[in-house]
Each structure stands twice: as structure tokens, then as C-alpha cells.
Amino acid sequence: MQNLFHIFLITHVVAGTLSLLLFWIPAVSRKGGLNHKKFGGYYGLSMNTVAFSGIAMSLLVLLFTAQVKPHLYSVAHLAEQRVQYAHLFAWFLIHLGVLIHSSVLYGNAVLRNKSNHEGLKKPYLIAVCGVLALNGLALIIVGSLNGLILHIVFGALGAWVGLSNIKFIFSKSFSKKAWLREHLGAYIGSGIGAYTAFLVFGGATWLSVTGDFYTALWIAPGIIGTFFVAKLSRKYDPPKQHKPESTSTI
């Protein structure tokens, strides 16, 4: 199991590194241009690889803890506490994987169906967004009961993203550029996930960051990313354009 875990880990790190680099090519290239489309596709593929490899590693930790993380049992009287923390963190990482996959999936879906809003009503997309929202609510509850700030913050983020996506999928009135706002927001959201992981694990590994500063590294990219999403939303879909229009006019 450890070998399988390490294969997923290497895949996760390589795909994550590629994602950090690929994110900026579609971000700065002309929207709709060849580079934007091509490298946006590469970025989406690498981020899905990050998401699924992260989920796979976390499931191995949950299902085969002793085989994957034998060091957790090295001190008998601390083993139960260590395993419990490892399981809570694995659950948290699964949530991040679902958040990343949901962002890429939704971002691609609104782009493909910009002229056919009904095309968003796909069972898999709705299910992923629903799982994200429900898992986010569960993380908020568990985080509140155990004083886990990261579970609370990212649980709230997941619940908000999942419910917002579902709301747009089933909305009947929206502006002509709403799809662009949703697409950019989703892809920037996935980028937040990539840079959050880089800062957190890089900071912990290379800078020995702990405590409140470690928590800040988790939260800061989300705050900064939310600011840019809001700014882009005002640019591409300003409030004055929010006049009800039927889907047939999109």
C-alpha cells in the first residue's frame, strides 16, 4: 500500500507543479484565443489529476491507515489521537479534491453551454456540486465541534461554491455574460487550490512554518482569490447588466 501511496503522491506533486505554471498562460493570454483554449485545457487536465490523486491518497489513509502511515502507531498511548487527526485531515483533503474537480468541471461546463443553459443540467455535474456543498456543511459542523479552523473555513467555501453553482445551473434569468463570470470564477477558484497547497506544504517543508502563520497560509490565497473573482465579476458582468433575460436569448 505504501508503494501505491507514493505513486499517487509523485503524480500529485508533478501535476500540481505543472498546474502552478499552466495557470498563468490562459490567465494572461487573450480570452478565446488559441493559447487560452489549448493551455486552459492542459491546466484543467493537470488540476483534475491533482484532485483525483489527492482523493486517492486520502482514501488510502482512511482505509489502510496502518499500512500507509505505520509511524502513527510508534507511540502506543498517542496512536489513537494521531490516527484520529490523520483521518480528519484526510477527509479535509478529500474535500479539497472535490472542490478542485468541481471547479474545473463547472468551469468547462459553463463554457461549453454558454449558448445552451439547459445543457448544464447534467446529473454528474449536479451531483458533484451537491456532494461539495453537503460535505462542506459537514466539515463546518465537525470543525466547530473540534475547534478546527481550516475545516470551518474550507467547509464554508465548499458549501458556498457548491450551492452557488447549483443555483446558477437551475436559474432561469441571468445576464448575457453570466457564463463568463462563472467560468472565470471557477478556474480562478481551482488556481486558489493549487497555490494554497504550494504555500502550505512548501512553507511547512522548507520554512518550518507552524501555528497561526501556517493557518494563514491556508486562508490567504482564498481571500486574495475571492477579491480577484469579485473584481472580474464587476468587469465582465457588472450589476447594470443584470436584467432578467430568458435562456433563449443567450
| DSSP secondary structure of 112-145 | HTTT-GGGG--HHHHHHHHHHHHHHHHHHHHHHH
Confidence of residue 68 (pLDDT cuts 50, 70, 90): very high
State the Cα–Cα distance between residues 203 and 194, nearest whole angstrom: 14
**207 pLDDT higher than 80:** no
Reply yes or no on whether the pLDDT at 212 is more than 90: no
Given a cut of 70, whether residue 204 has pLDDT beyond it is no
N-term to C-term CA, the chain = 50
Q: Answer yes or no: are the C-beta atoms of 110 and 184 closer than 8 Å.
A: no
Q: What is the pLDDT at residue 250?
A: 42
Number of folded domains that form the chain: 1
Q: To 5 degrees, how large is the angle CA 168–CA 96–CA 108?
A: 40
| 173, burial (CB in 10 Å: exposed 0-12, middle 13-18, buried 19+) | exposed
What is the Cβ-side half-sphere exposure of residue 14, based on CA atoms within 13 angstroms?
A: 9
Q: Look-up: residue for cell 506533486?
A: 13
Q: Each residue of 123-180: pLDDT tens digit?
A: 999 999 999 999 999 999 999 999 888 899 889 989 999 999 999 999 988 778 888 8
Q: Could you read off the pLDDT of 14-59 as tens digits, one per residue?
A: 998 898 888 888 777 776 666 778 888 899 999 999 999 999 999 9
Residue (of 136, 67, 62) closest to 96 by Cα position: 136
Compute the C-alpha angle 26/186/43, nearest 5°.
40
Tell if the pTM clears 0.85, that is, is over it. Answer: no
Q: What percent of the chain has pLDDT over 70?
A: 78
pLDDT of residue 247: 46
Nearest to 173, CA basis, from 243, 112, 126: 243
C-alpha torsion angle, residues 31, 236, 101, 38 (rounded to 10): 0
Where in the sequence is the domain holding 181, given as residue range(s)? 2-249
Grid cell for residue 199: 504555500
The mean pLDDT of the chain is: 84
- Taking phi over 0 as left and psi of -120 to 50 as alpha, with beta for the rest, 116 belongs to beta
- C-alpha cell, 203: 512553507
Q: Other CB atoms closer than 10 Å to residue 10's CB: what's the count? A: 11
